[in-house]
Amino acid sequence: MTGREPPWGTVVFDLDGTLVDTIGLIVESYQHAFRTVLGQEQAQERIRAWIGQPLIRCFQEASPKHAQELFAAYTLWNEANTERLLRPYAGVDALLRDLAEAGVGVGVATSKRREPAAWALRLVGLSELVPVVVAMEDTPVHKPDPTPLWLALERCGGRLGSAAYVGDAVVDLQAARAAGMAGVGVLWGAGLEADLAAQHPQALARTVNELRALLL
């Protein structure tokens, strides 16, 4: 804690690759689905670029004819391997506690479905630290559309002039800009630094400590 006023009264976070380390789990789930249904894997770079977007949209992009079959194969394998492969990011829990202590409203806006999002937060002990979660089912459109961010901000009781969105993907920063929120990119998730920097975010954080310095 620094003693200065936090720059944003509300901070909304992405989930996968930002608050919870699901990147390995997601990549392997995609590859399992593609191997099982199509008999071949996808380039890992393509998969990492999909992270942050709804699954079915990505499968429709990859193979419209097999999108539902791919989705089913992904979901089955992902659920069976979540507890084995999901990991916490060190220091995130303390950061969320300190934000709450400083009076900052905290929420999540994710393209992940509600049930697996809640499960991920429980597994890393963050459920009680994130009072607002906007999931895939909560809005008809998804990042980079700003609607999920606006809904999370509304549920947090925040206002646009004092709000930031924190995420690890290009679509996160695009959504923040479209929403009129400050975009903060983190570099421990799926996105590449050059790609995130090209979105001209308010800031980039390489570590949780750097993010703490930005938010507090």
Q: Which residues are catalytic?
A: 14
Q: Do the bridges between strand 132-134 and strand 87-88 make them parallel or antiparallel, or are there none, so unpaired? A: unpaired
Cα-based distances in Å from 11 to 26, 49, 177 = 25, 23, 14
Rounded Cα distance between 163 and 12, Å, is: 8
State whether the Cα torsion 197-44-168-96 is positive or negative. negative
Neighbours of 150 (CB within 10 A): 21
Please report, as a single letter, which amino acid is at residue 86: L
Neighbours of 54 (CB within 10 A): 18
Q: Could you list the beta-strand ranges (E) of the chain.
A: 10-13, 20-21, 87-88, 105-109, 132-134, 163-167, 182-186, 203-205
Beta-ladder partners of 88: 20
Residue 44 near residue 185 (C-beta atoms within 8 A): no
